[in-house]
Amino acid sequence: MKDRFKITLGILAVSITLGCGSSKVNSQASKKPKNIILLIGDGMGLSQVSASYFYKDTTPNFERFNTIGLIKTSAADALVCDSAASATAYATGVTTYNGAIAVDMQKQPVATIIEKITPKNISTGIISTSSIVHATPASFYAHESSRKSYDEIASYLPNSNIDFIAGGGKQFLDKNKREDKRDIFQELIDKGYSVETKNLPKVASEKKQAIFLADDGMLKMLEGRGDFLPSATKIALEKLSKNENGFFLMVEGAQIDWGGHSNEAEYLISELIDFDNTIGVALDFAANNGETLVIVTADHETGGFTLAADGGNYNKIKPMFSTGGHSATMIPIFAEGPGQEDFGGIYKNTTLFQKMMNIFNKK
C-alpha cells in the first residue's frame, strides 16, 4: 500500500469518472423499506472516507450512495464523544455520558432498537471486527453503566434473541476466564444457538447463530483477518432475509478507530477498505432485494485524521493525525434504498435512532 501514498490527482480523476451508476435507486426511493442494514465505521470521519478514493484500487462503494448527511456526535457530558455514548444514541435514541452502554444519565437501562423490534418478529443481527462485548455492538443488546464491564455485557447475549452474532470476544464467554465462572457458550446453546468458535461457517444455520472467532478483538487486516467482515455480512443477510417480517443488521468496522488511535495510516486505511468492501456486499444485496435500506455512518471521528499535501508537493498525500484520541468533527452518513430521502441533512446522533424506528414502527 505504501507506494500508493504517492498517488496522483490524475489517477483520482479517472477513478471518479469510472464511478458506479445508481439509476436503479431512484425508482425505489418512494417505497417503504422492510429491512435496515446499519454499517458503522468506528472512528470514520470524512478524511477517512476520502482516503478510500486515494488508496483503494477500485471505485469506493461510498460513491453508490445518493443521500448523504452529517451527524453531530457530542455526548451528554462531553463535546467529544466515545463509541459507547454514540452507539447508545443510535441504539436507544438517548443522549448519555461517555462510557454508557444503553443506559441514560441516571444509569437506568433504555430499550434498544433490537429489544423494541424483536417482539414485532423482526430478525436481528450484529457483526463486528472487535469483540462482540466492545462498546459499539454492546450498546445494541446490553445495559451497563460502564463499557468496561465485559463479563457482565456478555451475560446479556444468551437472552438477547439476536438471530445472528459474529465477532471476537471468546474470553468473555469462557467459564474458565470469567470471574463468575458462568459458561456463556453453554447458555447460548441452551437458548437454541448454534455456536461456532473456529471458523466462519460457509452457510447460514437454521438455528440462531453465534460466531466468536477471537479471544478479544479480531485480527487486523494487516495481520491476515481476510474477508471475515464481508463474508459474515453475506451469511447474515442470507439468514436474516428469510424472515418475511424484515430484519435489522448492524455491521461494525471497529478497527478504523484503532488505526486512528495508534496514528497508523496503513492500519486505518486497510480497515477502511475492508469496510468499504463490506458496504459493497450490503448494497449488492439491497439492489437485488429491493426492500432494504442501507445506512452507513460512523460513531465519531478518531485521530483528527487529514489527507495533507506532502510539504510543497500537491501531488502527494501525506496522511497525518492531530490526536491519539477522538475529535468532535461531524461525521458523514450515507443512505441508499427505499426511505433514503429521510436521511439527508445535519442532525444529532439520537435522530438516527428515531429515523430507523419510524421505519420499523410503520410496519
Site residues, Zn ion (CB under 5 A): 257, 302
Catalytic residue among 83, 86, 128, 155: 83
Residue nearest to Mg ion (CB): 136
Q: Which residues pair with 109 in a beta bridge?
A: 103
Q: What is the SS3 assignment for 159?
A: helix
d(CA 209, CA 204): 8
Binding mask 220-259 for Mg ion (x = CB under 5 A): ----------------------------------x-----
Pick from Mg ion, Zn ion, none: which does 136 bind, CB < 5 to 8 A by kind? Answer: Mg ion
- Chain positions 115 to 154 lying near Mg ion, rule: CB under 5 A, are 136
Compute the least distance from the CB of residue 130 to Mg ion, in Å: 5
User: How far from chain centre, in Å, is Cα 204?
Assistant: 20
Q: Sort 179 into a burial class: Cβ within 10 Å, 0-12 / 13-18 / 19+.
A: exposed
Pick from Mg ion, Zn ion, none: which does 254 bind, CB < 5 to 8 A by kind? Answer: Mg ion
83 tagged catalytic: yes
d(CA 231, CA 214): 16
Pick from Zn ion, Mg ion, none: which does 265 bind, CB < 5 to 8 A by kind? Answer: none
Compute the least distance from the CB of residue 355 to Mg ion, in Å: 21
**Does residue 83 bind Mg ion (CB under 5 A)?**
yes
Compute the least distance from the CB of residue 87 to Mg ion, in Å: 7
**Does residue 48 bind Mg ion (CB under 5 A)?**
no
Q: Sort 76 into a burial class: Cβ within 10 Å, 0-12 / 13-18 / 19+.
A: middle
Q: Which of 38, 42, 98, 122 binds Mg ion (CB under 5 A)?
A: 42
CA distances from 265 to 4, 51, 255, 256 (A): 12, 10, 12, 10
Q: What is the SS3 assignment for 178?
A: coil
Pairing of strands 164-168, 306-310: unpaired
47 vs 241, beta carbon nearer Zn ion: 47
Cell numbers linked to 198: 473456529
Compute the least distance from the CB of residue 177 to Mg ion, in Å: 22
Helix axes 228-240, 265-289, angle to 10 degrees: 20
**Does residue 279 bind Mg ion (CB under 5 A)?**
no
Pick from Mg ion, Zn ion, none: which does 115 bind, CB < 5 to 8 A by kind? Answer: none
217 vs 246, beta carbon nearer Mg ion: 217
Compute the least distance from the CB of residue 25 to Zn ion, in Å: 32
Q: Sort 205 into a burial class: Cβ within 10 Å, 0-12 / 13-18 / 19+.
A: middle
Stretch that binds Mg ion, among 4-12, 26-34, 76-84, 102-110 (CB under 5 A): 76-84
Active site residues per annotation? 83
Residues lying near Mg ion in the complex (CB under 5 A) are found at: 42, 83, 136, 254
